[in-house]
Structure 1
Amino acid sequence: MNRINYLTLPYAGRWSTLLSIFLLASTAVAQNEIQQQFEKKMDLPNTGDIGLEVLRMAESFLGVPYMAQTLETNKTERLVCKLDGLDCTTLVESTIALVVAKEQNKSLDDYKRELRNLRYRKGVIEGYASRLHYVLDWLYENENRGRLEDITERLGGVPFKKEINFMSNHANLYPALAPSEVWKKVKSQEAIINTRKHYYIPKNDIKRAEASLKNGDIVAFTSTIDGLDCNHMGLITKIGNRAYLLHASSTEKKVILSKVPLAEYTSSVPKHSGILVARLKEIIDNE
C-alpha cells in the first residue's frame, strides 16, 4: 500500500489532502450511522395493518430533535436522508418511506428510492424545481403514483379556493430561486396547481371529522397566509374517537404527540384555517 508522506507535500497541499481525507471519513461515518438507524427501524414488529404500521414507525421518532430547513443544506439539489433530525415534512416522508422499505426488501436502497419518489416530481431529481415544495402538489403527485389517497372531500371537505403563489412572490426567502430559470419553473408549477380542484376541512368542522380519521393518516394544515397552501403536517394517533397529532414541533424542538386533540390543536394556531387528509394505500412492490 502506498502511503502519503505529508512532510514532502507543499503546505497548502498537506491541508488540502488532510481535508479531503477528513471529509471522506466523515461521509463514511454518517453513512454507517444511517445504516444502523435504518436497521433498527426495520426491526419494529409487524402489525398487519398499514395505518398502524405508519403510526408505529412515526412513534419510533418521538423525541428526535426538530431541525428546520432539513432539505435546504446543499448547494445543489440531491437526496437528503436524515433520521436523527427532522422537520414536519421530512418526518412524514421518512415514516412512509421506511414503512414501504419494511414491506419490501428491508434495504436502505428501498428506503432511498421511496424517499426520492415521494419528494420529487416523477421520482426524478432535476434541480430545485423538481422537488414537490407545495403540499397540494405533493398530495397530487403521490396520489397519481398510487401511493396514497386524498380523502379530504370524502370526509366532508369543502372547496379550497386559493391562489397559490407564495414561493414566486417571496423569492427572497428562497436563495435557490435566484436563477431566473428556476423561478420560472416554480411559477409555472404554481400555475398548474391553481388549475386543479382542492378540498379542505375548515377549522370548525374538524372535531366532527375526527371520528372518521384512522391511525397513520397524514394531515396537513391549510394556511391563512396569502399564497401559501399549508403551514405544517403530521400523522394521526387515535385515542377513542378523538384524533391526536404526532408531529415535528418547532415550538417543542422535537417530535411529539400533541397534548390536545386535533380540533383543539388546530384552533390554537391562528395561521391554520383547516386540514387536508390523506391515507397511505396498501403497499405493492411494483416499482
Structure 2
Amino acid sequence: MTAATPTLSQPQNIAEKPPVTRRRRPDSTTILVTGLLVVAALYFLVPVYWVVVAATKTSGDLFATNGFLFAPHFVLWDNLANVLAYGDGIFVRWFLNSILYAGVGAVAATYFAAAGGYALAKYNFRGNSFIFGLILGGVLVPGTATALPLFLFFSQLGIANTYWSVLLPSLVSPFGLFLCRVYAQATVDPALLEAARIDGAGELRIFHSVGLRVLTPALVTVFLFQLVGIWNNYFLPLVMLSDSKLFPITVGLNNWLSQADRLPEFYQLTTGGVLLSVIPLAIAMIVLQRFWRGGLTEGAVK
C-alpha cells in the first residue's frame, strides 16, 4: 500500500482585494442638463424669495434697500396684520372669493374633464373624432379671446357681476379633457370594464368605481392646472365684475397697487397680500404631488 501524498491547500485567511473602481467623470451633457435645471429652479424660486423679503419691509425700505436683502426694520407681522384689517377685512373677502372660484371651479372642471375624456376614449359613437377635434380647437383658443363675448352673453342673461359669471367659464377645461382622454386610452384596461359589466355594474357605476380610480394621477394634474389657472386668472374677473366685494385676490391686489402712486402705504399692503396669496397654491402642490407617482390600480389586470 502506498501512502497518499499530501496536497498543499491555499491559505484561507488572505482577504481578496476588491476591484478598483474608477469614479466616472460627468460628461458634458450631464453638466449642461444640470446647469439648465439650476437656471430653471432659480427662475421660479427667485421671485418667491423676493416676495418674502419685500413683505418684511416698509414702503421706504422697499425702495431704499437692496431688493434681495432684508432691511434693518423687520415689519412682516405688522404688514400682514394691516393687510387683514384694511377696509374692514376686504382682503379676507377676496381670499374667500378666490377659494370659491378656484376650489369649486377646479373640482367641477376636473370631474367634467374626466367624464368627457373617459367617454371619448372608451365608447365608440358617431361623431367621436369630430367632437375630439373641436376640443383640440378649444385648447388653441386663449381665454382672453372669449372674455368679451362671454361678458355680452352673461349681460343678456342677467348674471354679469355675479359669482356665476366667473364660475361658469371655469367649469370647462379643454386641455383637461384632452389629457383625460389620452390617459384613459393608455391606462383603463377594457378587461376591467368587461369584468365590471359581467358583475352587473352599470356604466355610471363603472365610471365612478373603476374609471376615476385609474385616472387619479391625471385628475390630480388637471385639478392643479385648473386651480392655479383660476387662482391666477385676472382678465376674466376684471371684465365680469364691478363690485369690489366679488373680486378675487388678483383683481383686488391690482386695485391696491393702482393706488400706491398716491398712497405709498399700499406698497406694503400689496406685497403682504401677494405673500398670503401664494400660500394656498404652495400647500396644494406639496400635498397633491404624491398622487402623480402612480395609479391606484397598477397591476390589477394580469
Structure number with the bigger relative contact order (C-alpha 8 A, sep ≥ 6) is: 2
Higher helix proportion (structure 1 or 2): 2
Whichever structure has more strand as a proportion of its residues is 1
Question: Shorter-chain TM-score: which interval?
Answer: under 0.3
For normalisation by structure 1, the TM-score amounts to 0.24
